[in-house]
Amino acid sequence: MSQMLPTPSAIPLAAFREALRLYPSLVEKVYRSKLKNDNKKVTEALKRDRWRFHDLPAAVAAAAAAEPVSGGADVDGEVASASKKDKSKTKQAKTKKNGSSGTQGGGGGGGLTKDDVERLVQWKITHGHSRPFLPAMVRKNDASAVQAQTCLAFAKLSSSSTSESTSGSFPQPSRLSTAVITDALDAVCKLTGIGPATGTLILNVFDPVHVPFFQDEMYLWFFPTADKKLKYSLKEYTALLEAAGPVLERLNVTARELEQVAYVLGHVDLLEGVERKGLLDAFDEHPGLDEAGVRGEGEGEGEGDGKDDDDNAKDNSPQQPQPQPQPQQPTPAQKGRKRTALPKDEDNKEETRAPKRRSQRQR
């Protein structure tokens, strides 16, 4: 990023809101760039984006309110029976799915349908890095297994979350523990083709307040010195989760909003001139934002450049005038001996020697 951008721990709320406001415009620019300005594909991608952030979470929230997700033995038994479903049962599930989408039907009692998950995967590979093999892997799952595992994961989150977590307006609820989120993540990661990145996307649909999606742009915003080629491991996600928690609490924002802001900052070069200027002005207007809270080209220059205290103290101390060295006159050399070299001049950093006698020059 060529611009100076604030770190997550230093971004002011006004600048956060300005970046969030730019998301709809920015995401269209990204899709047009990725899809080579194909209007039909861009329209479909934008429709999926609205579905991912608004329609699907609203349907899942409505289903959870109408039919609360149950935990414990009921869900565990449902998962066990799902693994024993035969092909005829899978065909029935597909028929039912074609007749009524899981999105419209409320996600099937709190879980997601296979169609929901496949569509989320398609959103993910358009929105971020392309993973052409991923949709085929996800299609290998039985519809009943997808329903059961997502239902189990949602139950684990629901047991520790407040009722506001999936509502339309988000007050500041208590923070979910890392253990609760990783336990729910483990449930969805048992499905074929679902790792921590796609798994957290599924969890974020149910709980957009607490559970950040494992997004490249967000990870690199929080850890700019990390290897840009992520492994998408649980260890990486746990580090992101623990770093994001204090930011969510400080700004009183949701994980979904944090994701969208990180996406804007990750593609800030695509913003129009007026949009970029407005965003950078929002950063500059914050009086407490100094070099320690920004990052970009020139990072490490000036104060807060990483020097230790002793070095900084040395740099900041008043300079005493240094006496100018007096020019030294060469002393006559004794016959048959070379003149002694003068010491290095401290100002010019050059070594000056007296000329040799003709008899001493090399022939």
Q: Other CB atoms closer than 10 Å to residue 164's CB: what's the count?
A: 13
**DSSP labels for 326-346?**
PPPPPPPPPTTSPPPPPPPPT
Q: How many CA atoms within 13 Å lie on the side-chain side of 321?
A: 2
Helix 39-50 and helix 114-127, axial crossing angle in degrees, nearest 10: 120
Distance CA 8, CA 247 (A): 7
**DSSP labels for 54-93?**
IIHHHHHHHHHHHSPPP-THHHHHHHHHHTT--HHHHHHH
pLDDT at 306: 37
Distance CA 177, CA 157 (A): 10
pLDDT at 322: 52
Q: CA-CA distances (angstroms) from residue 58 to 106, 207, 253? A: 8, 11, 18
For 358, residues 6+ apart whose C-beta sits below 8 A from its C-beta are none
Length of the chain: 363
Distance CA 119, CA 353 (A): 80
DSSP state of 180: H
pLDDT at 307: 36
Distance CA 153, CA 186 (A): 8
pLDDT, one tens digit for every residue, the chain (363 residues): 445 789 999 999 999 999 999 999 999 999 999 999 999 999 999 999 999 999 999 999 999 988 755 544 455 555 555 444 444 444 444 434 443 344 433 334 569 999 999 999 999 999 999 899 999 999 999 999 999 999 999 999 998 764 444 444 444 456 899 999 999 999 999 999 999 999 999 999 999 999 999 999 999 999 998 877 899 999 999 999 999 999 999 999 999 999 999 999 999 999 999 999 999 888 887 544 443 444 444 343 333 333 333 333 334 434 445 555 555 555 555 554 444 444 444 444 444 455 555 555 454
Q: Is 48 left (phi over 0), alpha (psi -120 to 50) or beta?
A: alpha
Tell which residue, 8, 42, 55, 41, has the closest CA to residue 215.
Answer: 8
Distance CA 219, CA 233 (A): 12
Distance CA 294, CA 283 (A): 9
| Cross-strand partners of 5 | 295
Rg, Å, the chain Cα set: 31
Tokens representing 70 are 């149950």
Q: CA-CA distances (angstroms) from residue 206 to 56, 59, 129, 305? A: 9, 10, 23, 42
Tokens representing 38 are 């194909």
Residue linked to tokens 């594909």: 41
- Domain parsing of the chain, residue ranges: 1-22+212-299, 40-211
pLDDT at 15: 96
Q: What's the pTM?
A: 0.70
pLDDT at 55: 98
- Amino acid at site 207: D
SS3 101: coil
Distance CA 116, CA 15 (A): 34
Greatest Cα-to-Cα distance within the chain, rounded to the nearest angstrom: 113
Tokens representing 118 are 């496949």
Tokens representing 235 are 């260890």
